[in-house]
Amino acid sequence: MEAEPPPENRHDDHHPSTSGGGLGYFHLRLLCPAAPLLLLLLRSDRLYSLSLSRRRGPRLRLLASPRRRHGRRRRALLLSTSGCALRLTHRSSSADAVRVNGRPLLRGGCPADLAVGDEVSLLRRGTRYGFLVEKFVSCERPKLAAAEPCGEVLVLRAESLRKRLRAISESHDPLSFLRDSHCVENGSDDVRVKKAREEDVFLPLNLNAPIDAVAEEGLLREDCNLGQGKLEHCTDSAIAKNETDELIQRSKGSCDGNTEQKEYSNENTEQQHNENEGCYSDGSTFFLNRLIGIGSDVKVEQRSGVTLPQLLHPMDSLERVFIATFTSDVPQNLPVTIACHNKETCWSASRESRTAAPFGSYPNLLLVYPQFPEEIAFGKDRKKQGVACHHPKLLVLQRKDSMRVIVTSANLVPRQWHLITNTVWWQDFPCRTSTDYSALFSKVEESKSDFATQLVSFIAFLINEVPSQSYWINEIAKYNFEGAAGYLIASVPGIYARNPHYLESNYCLSRKQILHTKSAHRMFLGSVQTSVVGLSHRFHIPSDAGSKLKALSVLLSKCHVNMHGTTEVILKRNTNIPADANAVSVLVADLDKFTEEDSVHLGFLPREVAKWVSPLSDLGFFTFSGFIYPREALEAAYGATNTKVQLLLYVSKGPEFSQISRLIQDEHFPLLCSLVASLKRSLGLWRLEEVLSHFKWPETLETDFFYSASSIGTSINPQFIASFASAAGKRCNQDLDSEESDPEWGCWTANHELKKPSINLLFPTIDRVKNGACGIQLSRHLLSLPERTWQRLRSTGIFRDAIPHPYERIGHPMHVKVAQRRFESRLGRHSFGWTYCGSHNFSPAAWGQQLPPPKANPTEARAVSSGPRLHICNYELGIILIIPPSAMSKQISGRRHEINDIALPFVVPPPQYKLGDRPATSLAMREAMAEARILQSNDLVLDLSQDTDEDIPDEDDEHVIELSDCSPEEKEEEKIYAETLWEQVDSSQSQGKDQAGQ
């Protein structure tokens, strides 16, 4: 709580004096473990005593009435208010008991005049408590015309509020008192206030007022769900709405200001922090959010961080906003799409429950609940919901001339932007002169950035089941992302195999006839992992099953199998099937001398795939070709397995691809969105590896490798740590120029990790959390480290204390997820490496866990060799900033860009745990809370047990292992769809033969 000594001239422009005259209220912000940043209002014509209660535990109690008898021994502090003057007197015998701005206050009852910005601390039983003089609000009637009663009404309202607060505090049943909606207007002194409300008297709003932390504490939720009932009926949400509206109003009021754009560097950081102006970033670094309670000093304010109004400025030019967050409070009038977490709806199989709208107070708001796939549910049973959450923190702000992409670690709730340290990265991208759809399919190895590809792919994942929101795919294609300073790293729930290599195909899907055309590599856009449905029906009919199986076996034996074990099949449009005009048949044939009569009809594309494949092919925007594993298809046809037959759908540019921007219509956007969402991308650990593998990182020059996260998973073990380190570029061999062709050569393994740990994990100690400004209350739902994980890893020595930086943030909880691997040249003249920031915590749920190969059945030979698979539970998003080695590094303004230019939110190098240190595990925090009796009834202590700003479930090792045996099976609705198509295909073929015979 100690602060830097104040300047000699304390009553300068930045520490305005409270001296003067007039009625008003002092705002005191409590800073103590038992009262997390609560705001007290002191009337300026009263005497107050601030003391500690022994009977009810360590806390600060406000004794508003000077007439009550209190022993002199308990009067630790006296606050006398007269007019606009605030004076402090203490009667403690200790020389260091009371401090003002870190300096001891002299003994003997000598008073001290306090100014706005002063911090007072009191030592009590080894713990410091205190308060900050935040502001003084005058209630004197302003000089207005007689016809303008604003000042008088403001005084009346302030007096009414004071009386109501006193009545609540003295009530025997405060809850019943609050439920009485007439309690404010029953008193005779409040009649004029009521009359003013009825006459719609305008009361001026102080747009520069700080966010009230009392209202912050109103953001308590029953769970992490955000739904219509809570937005419209919940008092907590109404309080949060008022705060958000105030943020928006500030931004609207500042739209005429000029945005000063300044580059960021560690040596000369001048970030614009005026709430009346915006902010600028070139994307080469990240910033921190500005916290309440710091920044009153000019030097501190210049580095105190960025605010949400600054990021949204100017509000008037915003056209629409896309938000992806764990939980959120929202602007009221702006067109906004929010993808957020709901612990029930996200696991529902019903598409109708995937959105929520309309909202009476938010007419332009749509909530989207992204779905979790069945394969990550325990035992493939959605009732046994897996460990998963929708956890990204993304904001996309669209304007006519630019699009701002914001990747942060903060959820969109006031608490996380005002009280908790979070990282914020953003960059503005200009509008193109013409829409470019090819940018949506770029690759990381190409010269152009794949930022647009990753962004549009992630958004498509979230809105794929909401066709009305698919226009976002088209909007992103209007902006130029080639100048992106970083690489997006996304995680999406599912079980993934490695992306297949490009395969040259000979046949592609066509509406009119089966086309034989050689696909060119330059036209290839990507692949889609899908399946063939209907085998179980077609090949299990006794009448012709034998002949069909024999024909299939003969054809598959003749098919050319490529080096990846697949063979090409023919995709045929079925335009004459009434059940589905988009139906696509999968045919197996001898491609060297193809005739449709000699082919075998294997099955169909799933309905959900055919509904966008067929129209996009018909429009000429894309071409599609397919490959299967022949032995897998034969096994499924014989009934040896119930799993789906995989089909790799290769996507290339169609003949009309270059004309998409001219030909595309609104009804085509959902089709394009489904394609983009279905294309295979590298995710989680594999995306990290994909990005970093393009650079050579010299192991001998490494100086630091650490990860700071607010949550560390239950299933963290040497295997996962080694997988992360390997994906991050860690190698065991020193010969980086080796000609060894084995891709596993030099990879960092669990054995290497056990011998020499690769990475340090930053996590605060329990003592640091207990001594924070808010104590444990604000941290217990932010920090997650299971006790068993700590016990498993404590002997490795990889834990480091997470000390906030800069100094002013000490005592405030950190919710950052930051990783960095740093190198330094041999002569120490250049630092380079990479830095990650975003939403990924250090856990397999966020980054993915590599699964062991499926258990082999000794009685059955599997057709497909099982390669590595990655199991991801969460939706996550982050950004990785790369400073390459000197030979590849960028130069900005004539100066070499270095990784040391990125200011980190914690002290580096992070100190190792001392003997006896213990991290703030869930168990440690529960024990500390029990010892401090924080959960006892206390009128100044708010129970944050329902706070779910960040409620990250623990992982279960056993369930993760169980998932290794999961293989997708054909769903019942897919079987019904295929059976219907088979019946109509057979009927159509019979009619065709009859007509030919006639």
Phi, psi torsion values for 542, nearest 5 degrees: -60, -30
Could you give the CA distance from residue 316 to residue 399 in angstroms, rounded to a whole number?
10
The pairing of strands 799-800 and 760-762 is parallel
Residue 680, annotated ligand binder? no
Tell me which residue has tokens 């992106």. Answer: 484
Tell me which residue has tokens 């002949």. Answer: 547
Active-site residue (options: 313, 391, 601, 812): 391
Helical axes 607-618 vs 669-678, angle rounded to 10° = 120
Residue in 430, 426, 431, 450 with CA at minimum distance from that of residue 440 = 450
601 catalytic per annotation: no
The residues near 383 (Cβ < 8 Å, ≥ 6 apart) are: none
Could you give the CA distance from residue 646 to residue 648 in angstroms, rounded to a whole number?
7
DSSP element (H, E) containing 635? helix 630-638
Q: What is the DSSP string of 743-793?
A: TTTTB--HHHHHHS---EEE--BHHHHHTSTTTTTTTTTT-B--HHHHHHH
Give strand pairing partners of 402: 430
Could you give the CA distance from residue 572 to residue 601 in angstroms, rounded to a whole number?
10
Question: Helices marked H in 869-971 — which ranges?
Answer: 922-932, 957-962
Give strand pairing partners of 397: 321, 404
DSSP three-state, residue 915: coil
635 contacts 641 by C-beta, under 8 angstroms: yes
- Spell out a b/e string for 789-801, using b for 16 or more CB atoms within 10 Å of the CB, else e: bbeebeeeebbbb
Could you give the CA distance from residue 792 to residue 800 in angstroms, rounded to a whole number?
16
Active-site residue (options: 15, 27, 341, 815): 815
Tell me which residue has tokens 């002299």. Answer: 106
Could you give the CA distance from residue 510 to residue 614 in angstroms, rounded to a whole number?
8
DSSP three-state, residue 372: coil
Helical axes 630-638 vs 545-558, angle rounded to 10° = 170
Could you give the CA distance from residue 339 to residue 318 in angstroms, rounded to a whole number?
19
Could you give the CA distance from residue 211 to residue 188 in angstroms, rounded to a whole number?
31
3-state secondary structure 818-849: EEEEEEECCCCCCEEEEEEEECCCECHHHHCE
444 contacts 452 by C-beta, under 8 angstroms: no
503 contacts 565 by C-beta, under 8 angstroms: no
Could you give the CA distance from residue 312 to residue 394 in angstroms, rounded to a whole number?
13
Helical axes 451-463 vs 669-678, angle rounded to 10° = 110
The pairing of strands 600-604 and 584-588 is antiparallel
Could you give the CA distance from residue 293 to residue 133 in angstroms, rounded to a whole number?
10
Could you give the CA distance from residue 43 to residue 75 in angstroms, rounded to a whole number?
19
Residue in 736, 719, 539, 557 with CA at minimum distance from that of residue 641 = 539
Residue 393, annotated ligand binder? yes
815 catalytic per annotation: yes
DSSP element (H, E) containing 196? helix 191-198
Extract long-range pairs of 250-254: CB within 8 Å, 24+ residues apart: 250/207, 250/208, 250/275, 250/276, 250/309, 251/309, 251/312, 251/313, 251/314, 251/315, 252/315, 252/316, 253/207, 254/278, 254/309, 254/313, 254/314
**Which residues are marked as active site?**
391, 815
Residues annotated within a binding site for substrate: 393, 817
Residues annotated within a binding site: 393, 817
